[in-house]
Amino acid sequence: MPKLAHANALAHESAAIVGEAAVLSKPEDVLVFEADGSIGKGAPNVVVFPKTTEQVAALVKLANAHRVPVLPRGAGTGLSGGAVAVKGGLLISLTRMNKILEIDPVGRTALVEPGVVNLHLSQQTAKHGLHYVPDPSSQRTCTIGGNVAENSGGPHCLAYGVTTNHILGLEVVLPNGEVVWLGGQTQDRLGYDLTGLFVGSEGTMGIATKILVRLMKDPEAVRTLLAIFDDVNQASLAVSAIIGGGIIPAALEMIDKVTMSAVSQAVDGADYPPDAGAVLLIEVDGLRESVEAEARAVEELCKGLGPREIRSAEKPEDRERLWAGRKGALGALGRLAPNYYILDGVVPRSKLPEVLRRVLEICERYNFRVANVFHAGDGNLHPNVLFDERVAGESERVLKAGEEIMQVCVAVGGTITGEHGVGLEKKDFMPLIFSADDMAAMEKVKAAFFTTENFNPCKVLPTGRGCGEASRHPMRAAMGPDAVL
């Protein structure tokens, strides 16, 4: 953990704002917060748990007065190192700001605090026949505030859009401690779309303390299909056939053989054939008549590619069984290796077979197994490179393999992230898709939000004083010896 001369004073003054019980500063306590869902590490000096907007603003001002880094953090499920304290500092955990403040079933909105768990919101709105669409695979644990920071997606975002499409307004504490509102109740507002600009800013332009979300009416009917194929290429062609046929399913997910072998061992009720090459999990929803017609069309399109079997489920309990393996896939990978490095590239759907082949070639060359489970409908790949950090040199090699995979995604016309964000992990890949002028313009946008180098430092852009060591490879530095302020 980086040394901080003011740590004791910072902890003491933080306690005056939030109370002693809401402050952690002992090394063994803050160690719990050294990582998010990525493989980078970096412990903060002090962790605080505010409950109000006023406390968040006061804590930001306190950190500024001490000239120490500020690290916003949600549930810690992020997958790009966005909450990793590369330079130590004051970590502001928002998990105690977890109230659903208002549900408006007529206006179809909800006002929530950032620590509300994603799934809990839909559970509370279900009695009104409404739900919140963005549903990351970590839906049971991730928070709305973290989803806003990363512009998270999820299996059901193919037809309905990602987080930014469902956020109407935000109360934000800016990096100078000022509190402002962005957006509001109406979708069409005059002026610049500051709400859209803030969503996906990865905690570098402020901290959302209240979030006004759009709710969607539950569909009249839902049909879930599981198409089982002998190889990934067949499944990839089926994806293109479905979208090319004019059908945009609510979800279109692919799971490969390696992932299914783990799921079959770990997830009860997930009856995926472990010897199949790949499965597509396809869900259509809407009016009953249209769902029936689309489900039949999807079946016919899949049959044209020679599947081994197609299963169909309409009852909620049957659909849940089909989804169980997809939702539990990442946790199941622990059956195969102690660690995995999950990547988040996006490629054109037509390039899926080629890119998946090249991903396999790269991993074989570095002597790693790879498990693929991803949002096939929008070409958002998630290769999970399996490794063991205890083996000398494996952490270094897995990062090199990941870098090559990102380069492949860009080379075929794709990009470096679809929903996990840039964070610490991919900030040095930004020049692959943005020019120096592009990134200079982004720096100016950050400046307009009063962002300083101490506000979630060393994230998103490959700049920042004191981030030079991390810049040689952000994750490699974070996995090595601790930085020193």
Q: What is the pLDDT of residue 472?
A: 45
Extract the tokens encoding 291: 């769902």
- Reduced to 3 states (helix: H, G, I; strand: E, B; else coil), residue 43 is coil
pLDDT in tens, the chain (485 residues): 566 667 889 999 999 999 999 999 999 999 999 999 999 999 999 999 999 999 999 999 999 999 999 999 999 999 999 999 999 999 999 999 999 999 999 999 999 999 999 999 999 999 999 999 999 989 999 999 999 999 999 999 999 999 999 999 999 999 999 999 999 887 677 789 999 999 999 999 999 999 999 999 999 999 999 999 999 999 999 999 999 999 999 999 999 999 999 998 888 877 788 889 999 999 999 999 999 999 999 999 999 999 999 999 989 988 988 898 898 898 899 999 999 999 999 999 999 999 999 999 999 999 999 999 999 999 999 999 999 999 999 999 999 999 999 999 999 999 999 999 999 999 999 999 999 999 999 999 999 999 998 999 999 999 766 675 554 455 555 554 443 32
Q: What is the pLDDT of residue 322?
A: 87
Q: Give the list of residues 6+ apart from residue 357 with CB closer than 8 angstroms, or none.
A: none
Q: What is the pLDDT of residue 152?
A: 96
Q: What is the pLDDT of residue 191?
A: 86
Show the domains of the chain with their CATH numbers.
7-94+440-444+451-479 (3.30.43.10), 100-217 (3.30.465.10), 221-331 (3.30.70.2190), 337-421 (3.30.70.2740)
Cβ atoms within 10 Å, residue 472: 9
CB 276 within 8 A of CB 308: yes
Sign of the alpha-carbon dihedral angle for 77, 80, 84, 90: negative
**3-state DSSP helix/strand/coil % of the chain, to nearest 5:** 40, 20, 40
For 114-117, the CB contacts below 8 A with 24+ separation are 114/74, 114/143, 114/144, 114/145, 114/146, 114/148, 114/207, 114/208, 114/209, 114/210, 114/211, 115/74, 115/75, 115/143, 115/144, 115/145, 116/143, 116/144, 116/145, 117/75, 117/141, 117/142, 117/143, 117/144
Q: What is the pLDDT of residue 90?
A: 98
CB 281 within 8 A of CB 326: yes
Q: What is the pLDDT of residue 481?
A: 42
Q: Look at phi and psi of residue 365 and say left if phi exceeds 0, alpha if psi is from -120 to 50, else beta.
A: alpha
- The position carrying tokens 């740590």 is 7
What amino acid occupies position 217? K
